[in-house]
Structure 1
Amino acid sequence: MKNFIQQLTAQEDLNFLLTNRIPRMTLTRFMGWWSQIKNPWIRDASIGIWKLFSDLDLSEARKTHFESMHDCFTRELKPGARSIDMREDILSSPCDAIVGACGTIEATQVIQAKGFPYTLGSLMGFSPRTGELVHSLKNGTYVTLRLTSSMYHRFHAPANATLEHVTHIAGDTWNVNPIALKRVERLFCKNERAVLSLRLQDGTPLVIVPVAAILVASLRLHAINLLLHLDYTGPDEIPCNIQVTKGQEMGWFQHGSTILVFVPPGFQLAKGIETGQRIQMGQALLEKLS
């Protein structure tokens, strides 16, 4: 049964239809409510269905019992399940992921998928502050990190840094899988997202952009004690001055989604980082040039 379902959803036209040509916002709000129901029958049935559609593996989970499907989605890992590359010239991966498009930022343009570019301005917004940030990243390096639904959904600081500003940008909830990325132009610029502006200890800017997706559209940020979601009505520009240490947990998604990482010139992709590569939180992602 599981193999049949996975073969069925692997058909691109059907996958796109089932995960995009539906009431995305309504379904996402419903799932946000449904996933937090603390009923053992609903929890077990929901996780059982989830397993049919994915390769969910809970062997690394810190807990062995979950109160709800949401509790399972946002699970912590056992102590020591991930090791952090602590070398000073390395930015570690903020999350478990499959590496998507990555490489050099061409002026201020990056690639979503083959033939589908987008600009940093359209992703991060067009405020004066964002303009300065985009300029600082010109001709730098970027990495797209896709979290599948079954992965560990918490994300962590890639380095010792200061979180200086958070920008929340309301948007849609398109699926962010490779099938949708090949069909929907500027998809990351359409979905709900948060722009996390950090500064490394030597003054270098680092930008992390968690992008929400269908069934997700909810992002917990620990540093500012905030839950960003479809119905969020608080401030969209949030200045802050919060120190984070490498490997420190910064927040979580309610489900799978994408994290985009941007750095200015002076960095390169770490060895082995290429499109399609699976990576774990804490592994070397970007390397500072000497």
Structure 2
Amino acid sequence: MKTRTQSVRSRIFDQEDINFALTNLVPRRWLTRMIGRLSRIENPLVARTSIGIWRMFSDLDLSEARATSFRSMRDCFTRELKEGARPIDPDPQTFTSPSDGMVAACGRITNGLLLQAKGLKYELAELLGDDGLADRFRGGSFATLRLKSSMYHRFHAPYDCQVHSVTHFHGDTWNVNPATLKRVPRVYCRNERAVVLVRLRPSGHVIALVPIGAILVASIRLHFLDTTLHMKRAGPSVHQVSARLSKGQEMGWFEQGSTIVVVAPRGLELADAVKEGELIRMGRPLMRLTRSMG
């Protein structure tokens, strides 16, 4: 007979199988396009109904939102927050979290590999699309932040910095939830993503921020680009940028929740409170500068 622990584990496994099937074994790109169209409909009845359904299946909390009503579901997804809702850590040695998120994985970059889930790793060079660039991060640190659909979807500069380039990679729209990360290798490398390279001021450290799309979330908007990055655009495409941002300044947003992988070189270490499975808010310490480039 099954023990109680075995029975609980079996139920969890069954639930994960169902979750995986419902969110991945479907026409992902078609469903993403349809939801994208629905989310843009600016009609009070459609907006209230779709947001109401969304709230039934998530922990959506709009108490921090600047607006009290929304023209569309997309308007709610990309909502701004009230002034002061996300204070930015002022310590000049602190590199802050660019977004709200659950820490899906974090740690040291070893042999060019990053952790996706227990037992599954992927190559940083494949994620970045550049072997030479990946070499610059050998021995560095990374943190993978997963934004749930109910979370605040905008992301911000983690430090005073200069944005140098954005490379957009056309890709799939696999879900990025735990059920998928355990089952599908190299999910982040397969999905729609953008590699945003920034240089910290004045230390000179080069950081890669990699916003990754997923099912229902294949559009990434960056303020310093005059175009939206989405799955209809062929890639990879490289955009040269010269944008100066201050710590905490808004960089862009997802049209729903997804993931940001933060990749840092030696000279930055994960903050003590950053642990796998923990919730982190935008503006809180993610890493600390341990030495300058000089």
Q: Return the TM-score normalized by structure 1.
A: 0.94
Q: Is the 8 A contact 1:158 1:247 kept in 2?
A: yes
Which segments of 5 or more consecutive residues in structure 2 lack a partner in the other structure?
Answer: 1-10
Q: Is the 8 A contact 2:141 2:266 kept in 1?
A: yes
Q: Is the 8 A contact 2:121 2:186 kept in 1?
A: yes
Which amino acid is the alignment partner of residue 169 of structure 1? F
| Aligned position for 1:240 | 241
Which amino acid is the alignment partner of residue 239 of structure 2? I
| Aligned position for 1:169 | 169
1:1-290 matches, cutoff 5 A: 11-125=15-129, 130-201=130-201, 202-233=203-234, 236-290=237-291
Q: Is the 8 A contact 2:169 2:235 kept in 1?
A: no
For residues 139-179 of structure 1, give each alpha carbon's deviation from its aligned partner in whole angstroms, at most 9, with x where no partner exists: 10000000000000000000001100100000000000111
| Aligned position for 1:3 | none
Which amino acid is the alignment partner of residue 260 of structure 1? V
* Aligned equivalents of 1:234, 1:251: Cα separation in 2: 20
Q: Secondary structure at the match of 1:67?
A: coil
Q: Could you tell which deviates more after superposition, 187-196 or 260-269?
A: 260-269
Question: Where has structure 1 moved over 6 Å in runs of 4 or more?
Answer: 7-10
* Aligned equivalents of 1:45, 1:278: Cα separation in 2: 29
* Aligned equivalents of 1:77, 1:216: Cα separation in 2: 20
* Aligned equivalents of 1:96, 1:152: Cα separation in 2: 6
The alpha carbon displacement at 1:233 in A equals: 4.5
Q: Is the 8 A contact 1:101 1:143 kept in 2?
A: yes
For residues 185-206 of structure 1, give each alpha carbon's deviation from its aligned partner in whole angstroms, at most 9, with x where no partner exists: 0000000000001111221111
Q: Is the 8 A contact 2:141 2:263 kept in 1?
A: yes
* Aligned equivalents of 2:253, 2:280: Cα separation in 1: 17
* Aligned equivalents of 2:92, 2:14: Cα separation in 1: 41
How many residue pairs were aligned?
Answer: 280
The alpha carbon displacement at 1:284 in A equals: 0.3
| RMSD over equivalenced CA pairs, Å | 1.6
| Aligned position for 2:3 | none
Q: Could you tell which deviates more after superposition, 221-230 or 276-285?
A: 221-230
Q: Percent identity?
A: 51
* Aligned equivalents of 1:264, 1:256: Cα separation in 2: 26
Which amino acid is the alignment partner of residue 160 of structure 1? D
* Aligned equivalents of 1:101, 1:248: Cα separation in 2: 25
For residues 78-110 of structure 1, give each alpha carbon's deviation from its aligned partner in whole angstroms, at most 9, with x where no partner exists: 001110012111100000111111000002111
Q: Is the 8 A contact 1:9 1:15 kept in 2?
A: no
Q: Is the 8 A contact 2:217 2:257 kept in 1?
A: yes
Q: Return the TM-score normalized by structure 2.
A: 0.92
* Aligned equivalents of 1:235, 1:144: Cα separation in 2: 22
* Aligned equivalents of 2:198, 2:227: Cα separation in 1: 17
Q: Secondary structure at the match of 2:168?
A: strand
Which amino acid is the alignment partner of residue 222 of structure 2? L
For residues 212-234 of structure 1, give each alpha carbon's deviation from its aligned partner in whole angstroms, at most 9, with x where no partner exists: 00000000010123211111258
Q: Secondary structure at the match of 2:136?
A: helix
Q: Secondary structure at the match of 1:162?
A: strand
* Aligned equivalents of 1:234, 1:189: Cα separation in 2: 13
Q: Secondary structure at the match of 1:11?
A: helix
Which amino acid is the alignment partner of residue 253 of structure 1? F
